């Protein structure tokens, strides 16, 4: 065993964080990133590499000696970028956008520089208190009732994703119910959503201990715009009650992933309140639009919900990941999720005079994400954020108008926000299987060009193409060029007769 006076291992001049070297590399990296943004249109939107491509291009082991920064950047160009699907490309129209901005980027830089692990108030008071402020700011922008704000009787917390928000509220609802029923009755708890509710809901329910057989996925239809039917929900709930089950949780959606359908909150709240069901509103995508007065009516009835989640990284220029969760009764969240090990005990936390966000989430550690929202809100103001959303909606309207003017195409679902659901359907009496094949081929062809990226969905048994406008760099010219490419693909597929593509 060595003595206490033994010298430390020799490290030479190794300094992991040297301010001078940091300044040099950070400036170089900013130039690299700015060039990437400037040239992003030159890359295929959808990566063209094959599975396993990267392993053959990189060494099998990490380097023993350090490598130069420029050599590393060169490898990013040659090996990493070719394997990227460019979510920030102005020609990215798939899924939902993951928006970015200068303000959010520098906010992330600041967050990373502090590296604060703000699990409780004492760990970094500014991290906790700024989060409380910006959550109330956004709540005010959405015109939420005071029952969801720290300035009222509720409060909000920044989670990573919607999945985490749903899981936390599910656990709070579960524990509240089991406190009355007894833990041995967990098998009686039933949760509800529609067949358009995000797939993460089922996963969260399983993680919360809900029996898979008690997860209700209520069918929707084109006639209701794929929104959850309140009368059908009521019949399902009443049947469960008659069977001796206990309705626990309902997840309503404001902007479903497939078609951006919006569930009617007042009508669903009637069912929830009649049966003591926790009503959560998943507004991950559509909720951001509600900072604009013309979309705010989609949140009518929110005062009757128990919780609401919204993802600013989808439409408020805030970078992944950032999901805002508001709850009416924070005490239920804290009671279900709190931990209090001795090494975290302190006088302020014990006195309940401060908020410890570790008790509002699944994990303990947390980053200073509020900086991103704070810089976005201050740098752009509500007016510019509203203009950004309205611009995306306007471009989607223009795309929708073009689709309607081409008799070979049809709009499948009425557009509500900036997603257009459409399909190629050129024949008076379509064969459903052929129409689906036609659209699959069209999507495959369009994406193979690398000039844009779209995705599809199936709702009500109908295969449709999704054109989601919202990438930060997208302009009207990109939407117009995308439509021209789609028409070019349709021309190629239809050339030569009705069944040319399947021969």
* Range 76-80, long-range pairs (CB < 8 A, 24+ positions): 76/32, 79/54
User: Three-state DSSP class for 22?
Assistant: helix
One pLDDT digit (tens) per residue for the chain, 503 residues? 455 566 666 666 788 999 999 999 999 999 999 999 999 999 999 999 999 999 999 999 999 999 999 999 999 999 999 999 999 999 999 999 889 999 999 999 999 999 999 889 989 999 999 999 999 999 999 999 999 999 999 999 999 999 999 999 999 999 999 999 999 999 999 999 999 999 999 999 999 999 999 999 999 999 889 999 999 999 999 999 999 999 999 999 999 999 999 999 999 999 999 999 999 999 999 999 999 999 999 999 999 999 999 999 999 999 888 999 999 999 999 999 998 888 889 999 888 899 999 999 999 989 999 999 999 999 999 999 999 999 999 999 999 999 999 999 999 999 999 999 999 998 877 688 899 999 999 999 999 999 999 999 999 999 999 999 999 999 999 999 999 999 999 999 998 554 444 44
DSSP annotation string for 49-69: PPTTTTTTTS-SS--SS---H
Give one DSSP letter per residue of 193-223, joined into a string: EETTS-THHHHHHHHTT--GGGEEEE---GG
Q: What is the pTM of this model?
A: 0.93
The SS3 call for residue 297 is helix
Q: State how far the Cα of 76 lies from the Cα of 82, in Å rounded to an integer.
A: 9
pLDDT confidence of residue 10: 62
Q: Are 163 and 280 in contact (CB under 8 A)?
A: no
- Looking at the DSSP bridge assignments, the partners of residue 423 are 410
Residue 181 CA: distances (Å) to CA of 32, 172, 178, 274: 59, 14, 5, 18
The vertex-462 CA angle with 460 and 467, nearest 5°, equals 110
Mean pLDDT of the chain: 94
The answer for 226, left when phi > 0, alpha when psi is -120 to 50, beta otherwise, is: left
Q: Are 217 and 455 in contact (CB under 8 A)?
A: no
Residue spans of beta strands (DSSP E) within 286-374: 307-310, 323-327
Q: How many CA atoms lie within 13 A of 160 on its CB side?
A: 10
Residue 251's region, left for phi above 0, alpha for psi from -120 to 50, else beta, is beta
pLDDT at 140: 98
Asked if 374 and 130 count as a contact pair (C-beta separation under 8 A), the reply is: yes
Q: Is the peptide bond before 321 cis (omega within 30 degrees of 0)?
A: yes
CA dist 305 and 234 (Å) reads 17
Q: State how far the Cα of 18 lies from the Cα of 23, in Å rounded to an integer.
A: 9
pLDDT number for residue 3: 56
pLDDT digits (tens, 9 = 90+) for 30-53: 999 999 999 999 999 999 999 999
Confidence at residue 185, expressed as pLDDT on a 0 to 100 scale:
95
Residues 6+ apart with CB under 8 A from 36: 81
């Amino acid at each position: 065993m060595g003595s206490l006076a033994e010298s430390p291992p020799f490290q030479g001049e190794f300094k992991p964080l040297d301010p001078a070297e940091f300044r040099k590399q950070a400036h170089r990296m900013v130039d690299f990133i700015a060039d990437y943004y400037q040239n992003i249109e030159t890359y295929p939107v959808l990566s063209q590499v094959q599975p396993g491509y990267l392993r053959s291009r990189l060494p099998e082991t990490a380097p023993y000696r350090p490598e130069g920064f420029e050599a590393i950047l060169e490898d990013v160009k040659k090996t990493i970028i070719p394997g990227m699907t460019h979510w920030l490309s102005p020609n990215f129209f798939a899924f939902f956008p993951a928006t970015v901005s200068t303000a959010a980027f520098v906010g992330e830089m600041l967050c990373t520089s502090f590296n604060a692990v703000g699990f409780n108030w004492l760990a970094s008071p500014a991290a906790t208190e700024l989060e409380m402020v910006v959550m109330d700011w956004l709540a005010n922008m959405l015109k939420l009732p005071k029952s969801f704000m720290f300035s009222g009787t509720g409060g909000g917390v920044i989670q990573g994703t919607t999945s985490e928000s749903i899981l936390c509220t599910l656990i709070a609802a579960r524990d509240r119910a089991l406190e009355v029923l007894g833990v041995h009755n967990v098998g009686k708890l039933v949760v509800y959503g529609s067949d358009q509710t995000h797939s993460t809901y089922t996963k969260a329910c399983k993680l919360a201990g809900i029996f898979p057989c008690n997860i209700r996925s209520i069918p929707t239809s084109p006639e209701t715009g794929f929104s959850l039917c309140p009368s059908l929900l009521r019949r399902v709930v009443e049947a469960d009650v008659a069977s001796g089950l206990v309705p626990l949780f309902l997840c309503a959606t404001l902007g479903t992933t497939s078609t951006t359908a919006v569930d009617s909150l007042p009508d669903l709240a009637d069912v929830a309140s009649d049966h003591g069901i926790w009503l959560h509103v998943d507004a991950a995508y559509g909720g951001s639009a509600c900072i604009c007065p013309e979309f705010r009516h989609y949140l009518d009835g929110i005062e009757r919900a128990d919780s609401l989640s919204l993802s600013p990284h989808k439409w408020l220029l805030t970078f992944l990941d950032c999901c805002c969760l508001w709850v009416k009764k924070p005490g239920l969240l804290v009671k279900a999720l709190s931990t209090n090990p001795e090494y975290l005990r302190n006088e302020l936390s014990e006195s309940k005079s401060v908020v410890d966000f570790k008790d509002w989430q699944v994990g303990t550690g947390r980053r200073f994400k509020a900086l991103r929202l704070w810089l976005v809100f201050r740098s752009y103001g509500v007016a510019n954020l509203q203009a950004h959303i309205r611009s995306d909606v306007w471009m989607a309207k223009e795309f929708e108008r073009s689709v309607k003017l081409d008799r070979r195409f049809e709009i499948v679902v009425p557009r509500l926000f900036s997603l257009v659901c459409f399909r190629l359907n050129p024949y008076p009496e379509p064969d459903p299987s052929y129409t689906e094949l036609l659209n699959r081929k069209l999507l495959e062809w369009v994406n193979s060009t690398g000039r844009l990226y779209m995705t599809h969905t199936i709702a009500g048994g109908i295969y449709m193409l999704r054109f989601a406008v919202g990438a930060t760099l997208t302009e009207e010219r990109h939407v117009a060029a995308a439509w021209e490419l789609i028409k070019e693909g349709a021309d190629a597929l239809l050339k030569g007769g009705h069944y040319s593509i399947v021969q």
